[in-house]
Amino acid sequence: MKPFYLLLLLAFAATLFISCDNSVSNDDNIEIDEPASYDFSRDGESSVAYTGQTTRIKMADELFVSMSDFDQSTEELLLEMYRNQTENGGNTDPYTDADLNGSTKSVKSKVAASTDYFSTNASQSAIIKNDFEAWITAQVDEVFPNRNELAEPGKAGQIADGSNARYVSAKGLEYDQLVNKSLIGALMTDQILNHYLSGSVLDEGTNPEDNSAGETEDEANYTTMEHKWDEAYGYIYGTSADPKNPNATIGQDDRFLNKYTGQVSEDEDFENTADDIFKAFKKGRAAIVAGEYEVRDEQVEIIQENISKVLGVRAVYYLQAGKNQLSDENDGSAFHSLSEGYGFLYSLQFTRIPGTEQPYLTHNDVVGLLNDLLGDGPNGLWDVTSETLDSVSEEIASRFEFTIEEAASN
């Protein structure tokens, strides 16, 4: 191509861009003012709040810790920690942290409770909520009485993992790990991706008009849309050392989504993950302040993709780690890894393909793969083969844009 024509083409292209710009500036020419940290205010006061999310992360943490406290915990206590209610719906103080006892919130009420996935699917929500109760009950009924027995195929008890003891079910599952890792999907991810960042929540009722008009909620310093966004933020950063700059300690602030976002980002194949998630949260919040809802929705898609990826990578990582530990005849370490993998696989039904209302793996996909994992023989993980672990890993990886090799390294 002769230089002259090239120049002409460039000039033409430039006019295209200019005309695009014009169309944007028709919309009041709003600019997004993005702060350096997650720091937003109105009239000199912070407009960010997510105490309910911090509370639930802490409740979930106490529940997990108490599940292996053989001396203090009872089935009743553990279920009350899950529900923050007695069996009959009465008030209870099951936590060691008095602030948690003073709260009326609970873990259970937000498990599988998102608008997009569960508002018209109460039966599935109930199944999932009950899975957690079943794991808690089984921990007390099966594992507690056998805590001083050696585990063997078909018999619950303890098994060595290095110099630690792991406490497993007759099928080799650690129920506390199932609860821990499954909550990352059923509570944190579901609430973030399918509830608070959902269009049906952010844009519910007159939220967009109120937000554009700067209309705050009663006795609050935030608009409803701002607050919904911040509540999503709280489920990943709600216990951060510095919540305005959470990536300074990402991975160290809880045992749930924060922790594994940090761990996945330590793998050089996924090193930008934590950064991408935080930047999208920050830019999206700034876009809400600016009333730029298209920019906001672009950030939502980045968050959908990356949080979903954290869960997918971690599921494959633990299944592969377990496979290698089994081949090293290190059953205790393997059962621990595979229990973590089981929980992350369970969590995948709460992921979300960007720009859709679909998870990367459906509830039925997940149930099928979990059955595969425990289905190589009568005794679950005691019987699982490396072929099964590879085929389940392959099925997960095929739904995402990463390979088993990338996920398995760390």
Partner 1 sequence: MKRVTLSVLSIIILTVIGYSCSDDGPSGPDVLDFDRQSMLKNWADNIIIPSFTALSEKTEELDSTAERFASEPTLIHLEELRGAWEAAYLSFQNVSMFEMGQAMQLRYRDQMNIYPTDVVEIQNNIESGSYNLELPSLNDSQGFPALDYLLYGLSETDSGILEYYTTGTNSEDYRTYVTDLTTRIDELTREVNLHWIETYRDEFVQNDGGGANASVDMTVNDYIFYYEKALRAGKVGIPAGVFSGTPLSTHLEAYYRKDLSTDLLLQALNATQDFFNGKHFESDETGESLNSYLDYLNTIKNSDDLSTLINMQFDAARDKIESLDDNLVNQVENDNAQMLSAYDELQMNVVYMKVDMLQALNINVDYVDADGD
Whichever of 197 and 316 has its CB closer to partner 1, that residue is: 316
Hunting for tokens 């095929």 — which residue is that?
Answer: 398
Whichever of 259 and 352 has its CB closer to partner 1, that residue is: 259
Whichever of 47 and 333 has its CB closer to partner 1, that residue is: 333
Which residues here bind partner 1, judged by CB under 8 A?
147-150, 158-166, 255, 259, 263, 329, 332, 340, 410
Nearest to 30 by CA among 335, 293, 268, 272: 293
Whichever of 106 and 169 has its CB closer to partner 1, that residue is: 169
Closest contact distance (angstroms) between CB of 407 and partner 1 is 14
Whichever of 42 and 255 has its CB closer to partner 1, that residue is: 255
Closest contact distance (angstroms) between CB of 314 and partner 1 is 11
End-to-end CA distance of the chain: 48
Closest contact distance (angstroms) between CB of 84 and partner 1 is 25
Phi, psi of 253 (to 5 degrees): -105, -10
In three-state secondary structure terms, 172 is coil
Closest contact distance (angstroms) between CB of 109 and partner 1 is 26
Q: Which two tokens stand for residue 3?
A: 């230089």
Closest contact distance (angstroms) between CB of 268 and partner 1 is 15
Whichever of 99 and 328 has its CB closer to partner 1, that residue is: 328
CA dihedral (94, 96, 98, 101) in degrees, to 10, reads: -20
Nearest to 238 by CA among 360, 110, 361: 110
For residue 168, give every residue at least 6 positions away whose Cβ sits within 8 Å of its Cβ, in sequence order, or none. 143, 151, 156, 157, 158, 159, 174, 335, 339, 381
Which residues face 150 on adjacent strands?
158
Whichever of 162 and 355 has its CB closer to partner 1, that residue is: 162
Closest contact distance (angstroms) between CB of 306 and partner 1 is 20
DSSP state of 85: S
For residue 261, give every residue at least 6 positions away whose Cβ sits within 8 Å of its Cβ, in sequence order, or none. 236, 250, 251, 273, 274, 277, 307, 310
Tell me how far CA of residue 267 lies from CA of 94, 112, 183, 260, in angstroms. Answer: 38, 29, 23, 11
Closest contact distance (angstroms) between CB of 159 and partner 1 is 7
